[in-house]
Amino acid sequence: MSPQPQAADSLIWISGATEGIGLGLSRTVPYDRARIVNLSRRRHPELESHYLDLADHRSLTAVAEHFLRELAAFRGQRAIFIQNAHLRGMTGFAAETGAEDVARDIAANVAAPLLLGDAFLRAVVESGYRGEAGLVMMSSAAARSPYEGQSIYCAGKAALEMWVRVVRRENERRGRSHIWVTAVRPGFVDTGLTRHVAAMADRDYPVASTLRAQLVAGGQAMDADSAARQIWAALPARQSLLLFGEQVQVEQPGGG
């Protein structure tokens, strides 16, 4: 159970803590007296929740205001934001998926995570918060592996990892040593998202049948709590990327 806001020593925001890895992260927070806030469309049944819809720009603005308000009033040791939420997008080949679905996918899964990361850092700087401030951007092996049928997902995760690398340098140049920023590739985790993409037709997502076979065979995908525990154990991170295993390999010799 979360402490009263004034008594909290850690303030932890997790986007998408209603399910999957985010839920695992919320269940395994390693700090005592942590106030944990879920940011997503559904309310978490137990945790404090603040509405976020990645596809709705107004809700991003409201979250940015919430970050600033809460950080300005916070006197505890650490504030962490884990940008984990992901809208299950329209997996499919470019030029074969509806243009409106592509636009929504880009807004929710490319633009929104970067806007949320920026909003958190802006709130830390503008509030004058001087405790430890940490930002985790949830990435994927898709930042490196060109999965056919997932062009927006891959492009979004690659963009996010480069954003992290640039922002780390900027923070160093500005002497913001109380802020750490990292990207995390969590590995292959059995969640609703994994099962959603594994159920796609191979024509639209050629690794789908391999994923399905791995899920049926068992033993390869982690459960969300185990994945979450190993992420927490690696924080605060000194490097720009934390790697916890890879998903199906798709690179071919000479394949680009």
Ligand X SMILES: NC(=O)c1ccc[n+]([C@@H]2O[C@H](COP(=O)([O-])OP(=O)(O)OC[C@H]3O[C@@H](n4cnc5c(N)ncnc54)[C@H](OP(=O)(O)O)[C@@H]3O)[C@@H](O)[C@H]2O)c1
d(CA 167, CA 165): 6
- Of 126-134, 183-191, 210-218, 236-244, the segment contacting ligand X by CB under 6 A is 183-191
No. of H helices and E strands in the chain?
8, 7
Q: Which residue has the tokens 């509405």?
A: 51
- Cβ burial of 11 (10 Å; 0-12, 13-18, 19+) is buried
For helices 99-106 and 151-173, angle between their N-to-C axes, nearest 10 degrees:
20
Residue 133 as a binder of ligand X (CB under 6 A): the answer is no
Q: Minimal CB distance to ligand X: which residue?
A: 20
How many residues touch ligand X under the rule CB under 6 A: the total is: 29
Among the listed residues 11, 82, 85, 242, the single contact to ligand X using CB under 6 A: 85
* C-beta atoms surrounding 242 within 10 Å: 18
- Minimum separation from the CB atom of position 47 to ligand X (A): 11
Q: Which of 10, 84, 150, 182 binds ligand X (CB under 6 A)?
A: 84
Binding ligand X (rule: CB under 6 A), the pick from 194, 205, 228, 242 is 194
Question: How many Å apart are CA 17 and CA 228, to the nearest integer?
Answer: 11
Tokens linked to 138: 């949830």
Q: What is the footprint of ligand X within residues 151-180 (CB under 6 A)? A: none
One-letter amino acid of 231: I
Task: Please report, as a single letter, which amino acid is at residue 92.
Answer: G
Determine the interface stretch with ligand X among 52-60, 160-168, 175-183, 233-241 (rule: CB under 6 A). 52-60
Residues 11-50 that bind ligand X (CB under 6 A): 15-16, 18-22, 40-42
Residue 112 C-beta: closest distance to ligand X, Å = 8
Quick one: CA dihedral 23, 249, 146, 205, positive or negative? negative
- Minimum CB–partner distance for residue 222 and ligand X (Å): 8
Residues within the interface to ligand X (CB under 6 A): 15-16, 18-22, 40-42, 52-55, 84-88, 108, 138, 140, 186, 188-189, 191-194
